[in-house]
């Protein structure tokens, strides 16, 4: 990668692409945006904004090439015009520079990060969750078992579909002696506990075997990868999906639909788990019950999202009678993924992590019995919905 993006050269870069001609570069306003990639928010004099992102290089000078996945989704919509309705659900990508691993997106100023919305407003509207469930189900349904889409998405990739099981599953199965030198002492507690729970390892291995790629999946559906329209309350109607958009399709693939829905459910559960009251005088059960954001407060959103998904894509439970069971298990897997991320980046595994692991173990090892934990009073009706299909 020869060209390194900076706040000093981004204006010229955009001008050379004819994305902002006849504008004095000195009039551009450039802000750095903290993220995994190197992100610059560029504001033009007329108020229009671009988010310009460049993948960071590894020690060998190469990037991971994840932006190719994001661009391939845009190309999918171009090649298959019957999917054009997806455009209103996705980011607006203006340019992709494969040689320099740069992607330019139109910045959606009238949207906000859903994770930020929940954190600041503490409002858990079923309308928002229902829209999310409808959008995800629509994307899954419209691409379900469509081999022409599958062939397009996996062309020129070295990864076999059977190898697209989340990397987490394999990383837990292969812990080398060298690995222990990379993990902080606090983090080793997690792996000690994981190795102690044989049923957990068996459940994860069984889930890997059940992984069934059959449609386009986002593969990283966290709340901060969902944008909510600023006027969502005024604009919302059951048929209006545009109050939310799904962004950051860098890990998108031909994948497992239960993984997408399970990952999102885990994101909601993390709101609850991140608000636990932790004390040496409290048991895990007491900490879970005394959370600042009670589980009961977010269960209606999880229910609304799941019901909307199943209503929009009823074929999935017809083809996969165990679909909801797998969704719950993938939610548990996503919680373990979050634990590993915390160990890697924050170098810690404390009592909150232990509580999170206990919940994850329950979801993975006893998914049917854990449905009341996830869905609350609606668990019975969702189970009946699954059985009726």
User: How do residues 313-339 score in pLDDT, each as one tens digit?
Assistant: 999 999 999 999 999 999 999 999 898
- Please report which confidence band the pLDDT of residue 181 belongs to, taking 50, 70 and 90 as the band edges: low
More confident residue, 335 or 25: 335
- Please report which confidence band the pLDDT of residue 74 belongs to, taking 50, 70 and 90 as the band edges: very high
Q: Taking residues 152-163, what's their average pLDDT?
A: 67
The full set of domain ranges for the chain reads 10-106, 111-388
Q: Taking residues 27-43, what's their average pLDDT?
A: 89
Residue-wise pLDDT for 267-288, tens only, equals 999 999 999 887 777 777 888 8
Q: Taking residues 239-257, what's their average pLDDT?
A: 86
- Please report which confidence band the pLDDT of residue 185 belongs to, taking 50, 70 and 90 as the band edges: confident
| Residue linked to tokens 């004099």 | 45
Alpha-carbon distance of 153 to 219, in angstroms, equals: 14
How many CB atoms within 10 Å of residue 2?
A: 6
- The H or E element containing residue 147 is helix 147-154
Handedness of CA 365, 371, 374, 376 (dihedral sign): negative
More confident residue, 358 or 379: 358
Residue 236 predicted with pLDDT over 70: no
CATH entry 3.30.750.24 includes domain 111-388:
no
Residue 32 tokens, joined: 């750095």
Domain 10-106: top CATH class:
alpha beta
Give 3-state DSSP helix, strand, coil % of the chain, rounded to 5.
Answer: 55, 10, 35
| Residue linked to tokens 């902080």 | 184
Q: What is the pLDDT of residue 266?
A: 98
Residue-wise pLDDT for 82-112, tens only, equals 999 999 999 999 999 999 999 999 999 899 9
Residue 235 predicted with pLDDT over 60: no
Q: What is the pLDDT of residue 166?
A: 52
If you average pLDDT over each of 128-137, 234-243, 347-356, which comes out highest? 128-137
Alpha-carbon distance of 71 to 97, in angstroms, equals: 10
Q: What is the pLDDT of residue 59?
A: 66
CB 148 within 8 A of CB 80: yes
Alpha-carbon distance of 300 to 317, in angstroms, equals: 21
Residue-wise pLDDT for 117-156, tens only, equals 999 999 999 999 999 999 999 999 999 999 999 999 988 6
- Please report which confidence band the pLDDT of residue 187 belongs to, taking 50, 70 and 90 as the band edges: confident
SS3 376: helix
Q: What is the pLDDT of residue 367?
A: 94
Q: What is the pLDDT of residue 46?
A: 84
């Amino acid at each position: 990668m020869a060209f390194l993006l900076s706040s000093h050269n981004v204006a010229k870069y955009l001008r050379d692409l004819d994305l902002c001609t006849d504008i004095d570069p000195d009039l551009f306003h450039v802000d750095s945006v903290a993220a995994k990639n190197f992100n610059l928010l560029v504001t033009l004099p007329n108020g229009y904004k671009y988010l310009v992102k460049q993948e960071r290089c590894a020690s060998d000078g190469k990037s991971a090439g994840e932006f190719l996945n994001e661009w391939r989704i845009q190309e999918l919509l171009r090649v298959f015009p019957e999917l054009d309705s997806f455009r209103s659900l996705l980011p607006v990508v203006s340019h992709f520079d494969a040689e320099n691993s740069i992607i330019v997106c139109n910045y959606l100023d009238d949207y906000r990060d859903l994770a930020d919305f929940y954190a600041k407003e503490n409002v858990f509207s079923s309308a928002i969750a229902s829209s999310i469930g409808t959008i995800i189900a629509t994307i899954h349904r419209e691409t379900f078992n469509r081999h022409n889409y599958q062939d397009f998405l996996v062309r020129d990739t070295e990864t076999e579909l059977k190898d697209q099981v989340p990397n987490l599953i394999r990383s837990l199965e292969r812990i080398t002696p060298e690995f222990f030198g990379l993990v902080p002492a606090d983090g080793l507690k997690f792996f000690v506990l994981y190795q102690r729970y044989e049923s957990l390892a068996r459940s994860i291995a069984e889930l890997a075997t059940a992984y069934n790629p059959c449609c386009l999946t986002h593969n990283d559906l966290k709340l901060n990868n969902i944008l909510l329209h600023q006027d969502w309350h005024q604009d919302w109607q059951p048929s209006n999906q545009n109050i939310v958009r799904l962004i950051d399709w860098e890990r998108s693939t031909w994948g497992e639909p239960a993984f997408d829905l399970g990952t999102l459910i885990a994101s909601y559960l993390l709101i609850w788990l991140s608000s636990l009251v932790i004390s040496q005088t409290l048991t895990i059960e007491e900490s879970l019950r005394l959370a600042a954001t009670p589980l009961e407060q977010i269960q209606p959103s999880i229910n609304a999202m799941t019901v909307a998904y199943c209503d929009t894509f009823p074929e999935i439970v017809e083809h996969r009678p165990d679909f909801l069971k797998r969704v719950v298990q993938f939610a548990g897997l996503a919680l373990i993924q979050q634990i590993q991320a915390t160990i890697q980046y924050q170098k810690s595994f404390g009592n909150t992590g232990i509580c999170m692991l206990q919940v994850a173990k329950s979801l993975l090892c006893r998914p049917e019995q854990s449905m009341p934990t996830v869905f609350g009073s609606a668990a019975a009706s969702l189970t009946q919905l699954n059985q009726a299909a």
